[in-house]
Chains A and B, each alone.
Chain A
């Protein structure tokens, strides 16, 4: 083979690969388009929206961003976790109580401890689902009360404190003023965990048990183990969400808030099938940003905040319906 034909071949491969990427990640690509559209609308409504706005946006979405990744992982593996918000609360108060009046090094230890706590709590959820065979939605709903109660036992009003370095990690820009540190932290942490996971056999197993449990069993996938690990990872990212709550608020937040249902909304908008086996974590993160922007835009447009949640719901249904219609047409064609 000559050098030029090799170059031609590789160029063609690049084009095919790019096309295949777009085809495979059509939903995510479309979400990026939607995100750009909403950013443009924001700029129109609020002409002086700039680095400060982006900064605020990035910090405000950090906890729910982690929560969406947490939910995405377990849903891809064919489950669901309604205790994400409660685990976040538990992680938040644990970190805030332990970090208060302690030095930086201890704070690092606390972060590691809280992440391990998240893994353990998630593994307990998963083990209960696997062992009791009670539907996951019931188990995790019940456990959400347990973890929320535990959080309130540790701290019954917002309090404690965050290590200054933890708050410093996520505030301010890095390099360009348009690049908030909070966004970088989210991207780096998710990339460091997700990319190796996605490429590992375990990552395949996770998609397999979500996509078709019977085929997975027949392919020799260790079903119970894979499910428990998926729940543990969800606990891990929920704990990251809790740490983000502490870091962004400066105190521990013992009440779970609406993070659980918001995380479900985000993954649905983000292209993760609730039936399992399909989607990734990039889509849900973009979906989180879009949902936050919708709220900002409606606020700038002077819409009553109570209406704006209804509008968010309508957008969710509209986008997902549109997506299913497109998918259906593709199948027919």
Chain B
């Protein structure tokens, strides 16, 4: 035990990390006092996950110092990070699926009795340590992970999206236990997409933007606005705004049938009751923070996963996909963020582009090389693909690879395109070409569904946007209103101009506590949140 409590329990200053020419962290700092719950905030690509990886021993920084209890903190592995006093609970539970819970505790030399105590505190008193991890639900695993981390009594406990995938009753227990760490000798770094949780348990928040710490905020009533403002910075866009954005929806004739409709789609606990229409000739943006159910939505629409309930309709008729090939036959083609998922990296540009339509038309016979060649050439020209390294797709730049993924569908004729963050990790010039291409496709009557992690893309490429939060559509925003602040607030499910007073936040917590069932508590959160929305405007 330390005799004199240090001023700061964890003090990271000027931490930087580059990957080649890409700067993941420019200069981040994080100062955590003993006995505080400290939120770490930042939009996509702000460097939050890199900083987390550095603190958990996954990545070594290029520069900067990290002190824990005034001792230098160097971690080459999670085990070393733990010895240095920082224990993390990851989004993916760090439990061995083929061992029972007790063996998992033995493996990490965690005190069994203390873990049991925390399991009970966290709402799982009945859990048997003899259960095989493989057989337990994800929510229980996350709780076990947390209980194990609490039992070790680390100096700093890092919780990365701890409450994601938890039902409301367990969320409430977790927040209560995390709140109890306040005023002790230990601290918690708390990462969450849910502002309501930040407001409920955090003392201060550090905000990252573009790899730099841009502010530290005391979490009080109304600090959500300040946090969002810090995350956005001055919106000096490096991309020119789309000029003459004539929203297709504005002049859409009333009798146009939607190309693609989702009706009450649900996937497990990840996606609930999602309905929307996608019309020919429009680009519909999907906005969501990480892990809000958008992955499942696109998996369902592209035929890789079947919904647990609800229906997908194509041109007004119900469609059921057992396989991505079924979705492609129905005219739904998929452009993933990870090019490696879509392309044959060792094959040529030509073969990659020709693959979908040659396998369709050619069946088993010889490939009609002449017509294939014409189609491929046309697609390469349309997309302005740089063919200097055409013999192997893996030698192309990321942007050109992404163009090839799009080109293969364009070459075969296209009706509906599902794009999942297609511009991830692509240079600005190519990004603009891709936006222009999406607009051209829409102008030619294609329906495009575009999920993007870059909010400014919505106004550049879309006609309107839907916002998904915790698996539900929480807003639909026309493009004219879809500026970054609006989208980000919507993505955090904050109502426009709403300030959540502390007593309301507290009420939410007690409302959750009162709800015996997860669903009941969920409804309560919604009710209070909307109450907060109306209350703020008075």
**Which residues of chain A have a CB within 8 Å of any CB of chain B?**
20, 24, 201, 204-205, 207-208, 210-212, 214-222, 277-278
Contact = CB atoms under 8 A, between A and B. Distances in A.
B217 interface: no
Contacts of A220: 77-79, 82, 108
A215 B103 CA distance: 13
B183 interface: no
Interface stretch (B90-98, B269-277, B454-462, B508-516): B90-98
B98 A219 contact: no
Give the most central of B90, B93, B96, B97: most A CB within 10 Å: B96
27 contacts: A20-B130, A24-B132, A201-B106, A201-B107, A201-B109, A204-B99, A204-B103, A204-B106, A204-B107, A207-B96, A207-B98, A211-B99, A214-B92, A214-B94, A215-B94, A217-B77, A218-B78, A218-B90, A219-B96, A219-B107, A220-B77, A220-B78, A220-B82, A221-B79, A221-B107, A277-B96, A278-B98
Contact of A216 (B96, B109, B130): B96
B104 interface: yes
A211 B96 contact: yes
Contacts of B98: 207, 210-212, 277-278
Nearest to B93: A215
Contact of B78 (A207, A212, A217, A278): A217
A219 B104 contact: yes
Contact of A212 (B82, B88, B90, B97): B97
Interface residues of B, number: 22
A217 B58 CA distance: 10
Give the most central of A20, A201, A207, A208: most B CB within 10 Å: A208
B143 to A, nearest CB: 16
A132 to B, nearest CB: 20
B364 to A, nearest CB: 28
Nearest to A219: B108
Contacts of A214: 92, 94
Nearest to B130: A20
Interface of B: 77-79, 82, 88, 90, 92-99, 103-104, 106-109, 130, 132
A278 B78 CA distance: 24
A49 B261 CA distance: 71
A24 B131 CA distance: 10
A84 B497 CA distance: 70
Given A207-B103, A218-B88, 9 more contacts: A24-B132, A201-B106, A204-B107, A207-B96, A211-B96, A214-B94, A215-B93, A217-B77, A277-B97
A215 B141 CA distance: 12
B106 A208 contact: no
Given A217-B77, A219-B94, A208 B99 contact: yes
A214 B90 CA distance: 11
A13 B98 CA distance: 23
Nearest to A23: B132
Contacts of B103: 204, 207
A208 B78 contact: no
Contacts of B107: 201, 204-205, 208, 219, 221
A220 B152 CA distance: 13
Nearest to B94: A218
B306 to A, nearest CB: 14
Contacts of B96: 204, 207-208, 211-212, 215-216, 219, 277
A257 B78 CA distance: 44
Contacts of A217: 77-78
A211 B103 CA distance: 13
A210 B98 CA distance: 9
Nearest to B80: A220
Give the most central of B88, B90, B92, B97: most A CB within 10 Å: B97
B268 to A, nearest CB: 15
A292 B109 CA distance: 42
A215 B148 CA distance: 14
Contacts of A222: 79
A317 B92 CA distance: 34
Nearest to A205: B107
A211 B94 CA distance: 11
A201 B93 CA distance: 20
A156 B77 CA distance: 48
Nearest to A273: B98
A204 B105 CA distance: 10
Contact of A215 (B77, B79, B88, B95): B95
Give the most central of B97, B98, B103: most A CB within 10 Å: B98
B97 to A, nearest CB: 5
A59 to B, nearest CB: 34
A215 B108 CA distance: 11
A220 B108 CA distance: 7
A214 B97 CA distance: 11
A75 B71 CA distance: 41
Contacts of A277: 96-98
Contacts of B95: 215, 219
A215 to B, nearest CB: 5
A204 B130 CA distance: 15
A205 B109 CA distance: 12
A129 B132 CA distance: 30
A212 B96 CA distance: 6
Nearest to B132: A24
Give the most central of B93, B94, B107, B130: most A CB within 10 Å: B107
Contacts of B77: 217, 220
Contacts of B93: 215
A225 to B, nearest CB: 12
A272 to B, nearest CB: 11
Give the most central of A20, A207, A219: most B CB within 10 Å: A219
A20 to B, nearest CB: 7
Contacts of B109: 201
Nearest to A215: B94
B238 to A, nearest CB: 36
A222 B97 CA distance: 18
Contacts of A215: 92-97
A189 B104 CA distance: 28
Contacts of A216: 96
A211 B134 CA distance: 10
Contacts of B97: 211-212, 215, 277
A201 B82 CA distance: 18
A198 to B, nearest CB: 10
Contacts of A210: 98
A205 B130 CA distance: 18
A103 B79 CA distance: 51
Contacts of B78: 217-220
A288 B139 CA distance: 41
B160 to A, nearest CB: 12
B150 to A, nearest CB: 16
Contacts of A218: 78, 88, 90, 94
Given A219-B94, A220-B108, A221-B107, A207 B79 contact: no
Nearest to B95: A215
